[in-house]
Structure 1
Amino acid sequence: MEKAAVFKDFIQIQPGDNIAPSKETIGYVGYDEKYFYVGIKAFDEPDKIRATVAKRDDIFADDRVRFTLDTFNDQRRAYVFFFNPFGIQADSVLVDGANGPDYSIDVVMESKGVLLEDGYSVEVKVPFKSLRYVAGKGKSWGFNIGRNIARFNDENNSWMPIERGVSSLRQIGKITGLNEIRTERTIEIVPSATVSETGERIEDTRQPLGSRILNNPIKQDIGVSVKFQITPNVTLDAAVNPDFAEVEADAPVVRANERFPIFFPEKRPFFLEGIDYFRTPLQVVNTRNIADPDVAVKLTGKTGVNTFGLFTAVDRFPNTDTKAYIGVMRLKRDFGVQSNIGLIATTYHSAHEDTIIYSALMQSFNSIRRRFSIFRWSALIPDAIFTIRILMILNTVLETALLIKQIWITRAKIAVGESA
Structure 2
Amino acid sequence: MSKLSFKTLLVLIFLSFNSFSQKKTLVSKSTTESIVVDGKINEKVWNSAAVASEFIMFEPDNGKPISPDKRTEVKIVYDNTAIYISALLYDNEPDKIQKEITNRDVFGVSDHFSVYINGFNDGQQDFRFFVSAAGVQMDCLATEDFEDFTWDAIWDSEVVITEFGWVVEMKIPYAALRFGKAEKQVWGLNFMREIKRDVQKYTWNRVDTKIGAIIPQAGILEGIENIQTPTRLFLIPYTSAYYQQSDIGSDRTFKAGLDIKYGINDSFTLDAILIPDFGQTKFDNAILNLLPFEQKFEENRPFFTEGTDLFNKGNLLYSRRIGGEPTTIPNTSDAEEITNYPSTVNLLNAVKISGRTEKGLGIGFLNAVTEKTRATIFNNDTQEFRKEVIEPLTNYNMIVLDQRFNQNSSVTFVNANTTRNGAFRDANVSALLFDLNTKANTYNLYGDFKYNSINTIEDYDGFKTELGLEKTSGKYRYGFSGKYVSKNYDVNDLGINFYSNYHNAYAHASYRIVNPTKVFNTFRINEYVNFEVDNTSKKLQTGAFGTEIKATTLGNHTLELLLELSPLETFDFYEPREYGKYVFIPEKVISIVNFTSNDNNAFTIIAQPTFTKFNEKGRNTYGFYFGPKYRFNDKFSLAYAAEYTKLNNDRGWVGFENSDIIFAQRNREILQNDLVGKYSLNNKMTINLTARYYWSYSKNKDFLTLKDGGYLIPNNTYNLNKDRNFNSWNFDLSYSWWFAPGSEISILYRSYGLERTSQVEKDLSRNLKNIFNSDLTNVLSISVRYFIDYNTIKNKF
**Residue 297 of structure 1: aligned partner:** 351
Confirm or deny that 1:165 pairs with 2:210: yes
Deviation at 1:317, TM superposition (A): 6.8
Q: How does 1:173-252 map to 2 (within 5 A)?
A: 173-192=219-238, 223-245=257-279, 248-250=281-283
Distance 1:263 1:24, change over 3 A: farther
% same residue = 25
Question: RMSD of the TM alignment (CA)?
Answer: 3.2
Q: Work out the CA distance in 1 between the residues paired with 2:402 and 2:171.
A: 32
**Residue 374 of structure 1: aligned partner:** 450
Distance 1:161 1:336, change over 3 A: closer
Distance 1:392 1:300, change over 3 A: farther
Equivalent residue for 2:285, pick from 246, 249, 253: 253
Give the length in aligned residue pairs.
Answer: 379
Q: Is the 8 A contact 1:108 1:130 kept in 2?
A: yes
2:437 counterpart SS class = coil
Confirm or deny that 1:270 pairs with 2:308: no
Q: Is the 8 A contact 1:192 1:242 kept in 2?
A: no
**Residue 417 of structure 1: aligned partner:** none
Q: Which protein has the bigger helix share?
A: 1
Letter of the 1:161 counterpart: R
Q: Work out the CA distance in 1 between the residues paired with 2:239 and 2:88.
A: 45
Confirm or deny that 1:9 pairs with 2:54: yes
Unaligned runs of 5+ in 2: 1-29, 32-44, 324-345, 376-388, 463-486, 491-498, 510-797
2:418 counterpart SS class = strand
**Residue 406 of structure 1: aligned partner:** none
CA shift digits 1:184-236 (9 cap, x unpaired): 3322233445688999xxxxxxxxxxxxx9x99x9875543322211011112
Deviation at 1:157, TM superposition (A): 0.7
Q: Is the 8 A contact 1:343 1:361 kept in 2?
A: yes
Q: How does 1:251-400 map to 2 (within 5 A)?
A: 253-257=285-289, 259=291, 261-280=294-313, 282-291=314-323, 292-303=346-357, 304-316=359-371, 322=391, 323-350=393-420, 353-366=425-438, 367-378=443-454, 385=462, 386-388=487-489, 391=500, 394=503, 397-398=505-506
Q: Which protein has the bigger strand share?
A: 2
Equivalent residue for 2:89, pick from 36, 39, 42: 42
Distance 1:317 1:337, change over 3 A: same
Q: Is the 8 A contact 1:135 1:183 kept in 2?
A: no
Q: Work out the CA distance in 2 between the residues paired with 1:65 and 1:381.
A: 57
CA shift digits 1:362-400 (9 cap, x unpaired): 1113213221222224266999941529847525x44xx
**Residue 478 of structure 2: aligned partner:** none
Deviation at 1:6, TM superposition (A): 1.1
Alignment TM-score, normalising by the size of structure 2: 0.44
Distance 1:379 1:147, change over 3 A: farther
Confirm or deny that 1:147 pairs with 2:185: no
**Residue 116 of structure 2: aligned partner:** 68
Equivalent residue for 1:19, pick from 64, 76, 84: 64
Q: Work out the CA distance in 2 between the residues paired with 1:175 and 1:62.
A: 27
Distance 1:264 1:42, change over 3 A: farther
Q: Work out the CA distance in 2 between the residues paired with 1:21 and 1:317.
A: 61
**Residue 103 of structure 2: aligned partner:** 55
Distance 1:347 1:25, change over 3 A: same
Deviation at 1:318, TM superposition (A): 6.9
Distance 1:379 1:71, change over 3 A: same
